[in-house]
Chains A and B, each alone.
Chain A
C-alpha cells in the first residue's frame, strides 16, 4: 500500500494505481476532473508535491502513478481567457495576436509554463513563436496540447497559452499549410454529379454480386 494525501486527507491505496484510480479507490465518485481517462482531454489536471520536497509537479491524474507521500490537489477547472473571432475574417499575421492576445508580449521568460506542462511541451517556446507571428512553429510545438490549463495557472503574465496555441493551429491549418488540390478537385466532381452514376450502379447491384466484388476487389499496395 501507498500513503497519499488527497486534497490533504490521508488515504492508503494499493501500489500501481493512477492518481485517478487512487481517488476512486478512496471512494470519490468523480463528476468533474474526469473525461477521457486516456490522456487526451485535459479534464484531470492535477498538481502534487511529494512531502518534504519543494518542487510542485503538474500531471494528468489518469496518466500518472501514485507515489508514497504524494500530496494531490485536482484542478478540474481553470479560467482561461478565450477570445472570440471569425476564422473566415482573420489573417495569419502577427497583428491578430496583438489584437486578441496582447498579454503574450508581457511574457517575462520565467519558463514556469514549460516546467508545468502535463504533456512535456515547450510552452514558452511556442508562445515566443506566436509573438513573432510564426504560427507554423507555434502550431508544431503546441500540437500535443490537451488544453488542461496548468501552464496558465502558473503564469505571472496571465497568458492563456492553450487558447493562443489553438488560434495558431487553426490559422496554420486553414491559411498556411498548402491546399490539398486533389481534395478540392474531388469535392467539385461530386458537386458536379460526376460520381453519381458509379454510386447508383453499385447500389443497384444484387447482394451476391456485391459480395463477389468485395471478395475480389484489388487492394492498393
Chain B
C-alpha cells in the first residue's frame, strides 16, 4: 500500500524538521495541564460511552456500555446442559488462562507441590503477554529503589492504586526479573552483564528491561516451555464459562466448554485462579486494539457472577502509538520503546507537539487532541486522522543499526508492507491496549469469594487509573507467582462440599428483578469478525 500524496507532502515537512526536533526537548506538562487535557480528550472521560451498573456488588458504579452488556447477558448455561455430579477433572488448583499470569501461577503452584491444571480457550501463550514488546520494569539499578518505582506507579495511576498492591509489585520486581533470568529469559545486557535499561512514559529512572522488542514473547515462550517441562496439564481450546462453588460458598472449580466440539465439562478444584487477561477485543468506543484474539473480558464476567467485586472497570488504556497505516495492521502496537529510544511524535506540519514520554493516558489524549477538529493537525489515514512517529531519529541519535538491533519486530512488521521505518516516519493513532481495572484482590491475589484468586490483567487496583509501560509484564509475573504460592497454601485442609451453580441462578434472578432482559450470552469468548455469521 502506497503513501498518499498528502502523506508524502507532510512527511517532507517531518524530514525537514528532523534535526531541529531531535535537539528539542519538548516541555513536560504540569499537573493541571494534564488534568484539563484528559478531561477534554481521553476516551475514559466520555460520558456517553458509559452506563450505570444496576445489579451485583458494584451496582451504582460506571461501566463501559460494551462491558455492561456482557455483565447483564445470560449465562451460557441457559443454552447448555451441565451435570455437576460428573467430574471430568479433579485438581487442587485450577488456572483459567494460559498467558503470563496463568503460566507463572501454575509453575509456582506446582513448585509448592499442588496438583495444578491450566485451561485456556486458545493455546497456552495466546495472550497479551506474548505481544508485549517494550519491556518490564524493576528497580534494580544503583540510582533506583522500590520506593522510587512506587512513586512513579502511584503518580502515573493518579494515586488511585491500591498501595499494598503497588508495594508488592515494586518490592518483588527485582526478584521477578531474577526468576525469569534463571529460567533462561535472554534479557538485553551489556558485555559485563549489566542490564540495558531505558525509560518508559512516566518513569523517573531508566528501569525498563527488555529482550529486543520481543520482551513479552521471550518471557512467554520461556514460561510455556517451563510449564511443559514440569508436565503441568494444559487443556487447550477449552474455555471456562462459569465458576462453580461448593455449598459453603467457596470457589470449587469451573464449567468448561470445548471450543471446537461444544462439549461441556466439569473441573473441580480446591482453589481457582482467574488469569484470563484483558478486553481489547471488546473494541470499546469503536477503537481498534493491539490485543490478542481472545481478549474479551471473560474473567470479569465469571468473577462478577460468582460474587467477586470489580474495581476501576471504567478505565481503559489507549496506547498512544497504534498503527494508523497501512490498513492491514490497523491498531497493531508500535511499542513505546520506539519513543524510549528517542523517536518523537510529530504533527502534519513537522511540529513536535508533545513530550514523547508523558504517561500513556496523557500522551494518547494529546494525540487525540492534535487530530481533533479543535486543532486539525493530523494527516488523513484510512480510518481517520493520524500523526507521525519519527522513527528515523533513532539511528540518527544512536547510530546506524540501532533500530534494527533493538526493534527487529517493528522493522519486520513494516517491511512486509515495504515501509522502511529506519528511513521514513510512521503514522500512528491511539489503540485500545489495556484493561486498567478488573476484579478486586487483596495482596494475596484473593477476591472476597473464598478460594477465588485472580492474577494479571483481569485484576484491578495495581495500576490505579493508568498503567505505566513495563508494569504489566511485571504485574503478571509478580502476581501470577503470588497467586500460585497463595493457592498452594490455601488448599491445605480444604474439604469441598457439594458443588453448586446456585449463584448463577441468583444473579440471573437479580437481573430479572431489575427488569433487565438480554438476548446475548456471556462470557463472550471470541469476537465475531466473520462476515455474515453469528458469534460462537
Q: In whole angstroms, what is the CA distance A102 to B328 when docked?
A: 41
B146, B259, B333: which has the most chain A beta carbons within 10 Å? B146
| Residues 520-534 (chain B) with a chain A CB within 8 angstroms | 526, 528-533
Alpha-carbon distance A35/B216, docked complex (angstroms): 15
8 Å CB interface, A8-37 against B:
16-18, 21, 24-32, 34-37
Chain A proximity of B529: nearest CB distance (Å): 4
Query: Judging by beta carbons under 8 Å apart, are A190 and B175 in contact?
Result: yes
A40 touches B (CB below 8 Å):
yes
The CA-CA distance from A24 to B521 in the complex, in Å, is 22
Known contacts A147-B221, A195-B146; is A170 also within 8 Å of B171 by CB? no
Residues of B within 8 A of A32 (CB): 237, 260
What's the least CB distance linking A17 to chain B, in Å?
A: 7
Q: Given the known A-B contacts A38-B290, A63-B413, A143-B186, are A199 and B171 also in contact in the complex, defined by CB atoms under 8 Å? A: yes
Interchain CB contact under 8 A, A170 and B228: no
Residue on A nearest B259 in the bound complex, by CB: A31
In Å, the complex CA distance between A87 and B139 comes to 26
Q: Which residues of B contact A64 (CB under 8 A)?
A: 416
In the complex, the chain B residue whose C-beta lies closest to that of A64 is B416
Specify which of B143, B159, B195, B292 lies most central, judged by the most chain A CB atoms within 10 Å of its CB.
Answer: B292
Write the nearest CB–CB distance from B406 to chain A, whole angstroms: 12
Flag if A87 contacts B536 (CB, 8 Å).
Answer: no
For B293, the chain A residues whose CB sits under 8 A away are 30, 34-37
Asked whether, in the complex, the Cβ of B204 is within 8 Å of the Cβ of A217, the reply is: yes
In the docked arrangement, what's the CA distance between A43 and B205, Å?
A: 37
Q: Which residues of A lie under 8 Å from residue B533 when comparing CB positions?
A: 27, 29
Bound CA–CA A207/B31 (angstroms): 14
> Is A187 touching B184 in the complex (CB atoms < 8 A)?
no
In the complex, the answer to whether B528 meets A40 with C-beta atoms within 8 Å is no
Inter-subunit contact A43/B126 (CB<8 Å)? yes
CA distance A16 to B2 in the complex (A): 11
Contact with A along B234-264 (1 / 0, CB 8 A): 0001000000000000000000000110000
If A170-B225, A183-B181 touch, whether A26 touches B187 (CB-CB below 8 Å) is no
Interface residue? B59 (CB, 8 A): no
**B23 on the A face (CB < 8 A):** no
Residues in A with CB closer than 8 Å to B123 are 35, 41, 43
**Is A106 among interface residues, defined by CB-CB distance under 8 A?**
no
User: In chain A, residues 182-221, which have Cβ atoms closer than 8 Å to a Cβ of chain B?
Assistant: 182-184, 186-187, 190-191, 195, 198-199, 201-203, 207, 210-211, 213-215, 217-220
Q: B64 → chain A, closest Cβ, in Å?
A: 22
Number of chain B interface residues as a range: 35 or more
For the complex, give the distance between the alpha carbons of A176 and B2 in Å. Answer: 44
Contact status A186-B139, CB under 8 Å: yes
Does B214 touch A at the CB level, under 8 Å?
Answer: yes
CB distance A38 to B333 under 8 Å? yes
Contact partners of B194 in chain A: CB under 8 A: 180-182
Residue of A nearest to B150 (CB): A202
**Partner among B163, B189, B292 whose Cβ is within 8 Å of the Cβ of A41:** B292
Q: Mark B141-178, 1 if CB is under 8 A from A, else 0.
A: 11101111011101100010001000100111011011
Tell me, in angstroms, the Cα distance from A17 to B417 when the chains sit together.
Answer: 12
Residues of A contacting B: mostly: loop
A-B pairs with beta carbons under 8 A, tally? 225
A38-B131 contact in complex given A63-B416, A143-B186, A177-B186, C-beta closer than 8 Å: yes
A119 to B221, CA, bound (A): 16
With a CB–CB cut-off of 8 A, which chain B residues contact A169?
Answer: 184, 186, 218, 222
Q: How far is the CA of A82 from the CA of B230 in the complex (A)?
A: 12
Given contacts A29-B536, A41-B130, A183-B178, contact A178 B147 (CB under 8 A): no
CA gap between A16 and B329 in the complex, in Å: 11
Q: Is there a chain A Cβ closer than 8 Å to B345's Cβ?
A: no
Contacts of A3 in B (CB 8 A): none
Residues of B within 8 A of A201 (CB): 147
Contact B413 A16 (CB under 8 A): no
Q: Is the CB of B146 within 8 A of A199?
A: yes
Q: What are the residues of chain B within 8 A of A130 when measuring CB–CB?
A: none
Q: Which residue of A lies closest to B147 (CB)?
A: A198
- Chain B residue nearest to A26 (CB atoms) is B531
Chain A CB within 8 A of B327 CB: yes
CB distance from B260 to the nearest CB of A (A): 6
Q: Does A146 contact B (CB under 8 A)?
A: yes
CA distance A28 to B195 in the complex (A): 45
B125 proximal to A (CB < 8 A): yes
Residues of A within 8 A of B167 (CB): 199, 203
Between A38, A65, A173, A177, the greatest number of chain B beta carbons within 10 A of the residue's beta carbon is seen for A38
C-alpha spacing A120/B150, complex, angstroms = 41
Interface residues of B in 183-206 (CB under 8 A from A): 183-187, 189, 191-195, 199, 204-206
With known contacts A183-B178, A210-B151, A27–B217 Cβ distance under 8 A: no
Do the beta carbons of A220 and B143 come within 8 Å of each other? yes
A84 lies within 8 A of chain B by Cβ:
yes
Alpha-carbon distance between A85 and B141 when the two chains are bound, in angstroms: 33
Does B189 contact A35, Cβ atoms closer than 8 Å? no
- Chain B residues within an 8 Å CB radius of A198: 145-147
3 A-B pairs with least C-beta separation = A170-B184, A178-B193, A214-B155
Other A-B pairs, 5, CB within 8 Å; known A87-B183, A179-B193: A178-B189, A182-B141, A210-B154, A217-B151, A217-B204
A-B contact pairs, 27 of them (CB 8 A): A26-B531, A27-B530, A27-B532, A29-B526, A32-B260, A35-B125, A35-B126, A35-B130, A36-B293, A38-B332, A41-B125, A82-B228, A84-B229, A87-B229, A143-B186, A144-B214, A166-B222, A170-B183, A173-B187, A173-B222, A177-B189, A187-B175, A190-B174, A199-B170, A199-B171, A207-B159, A213-B151
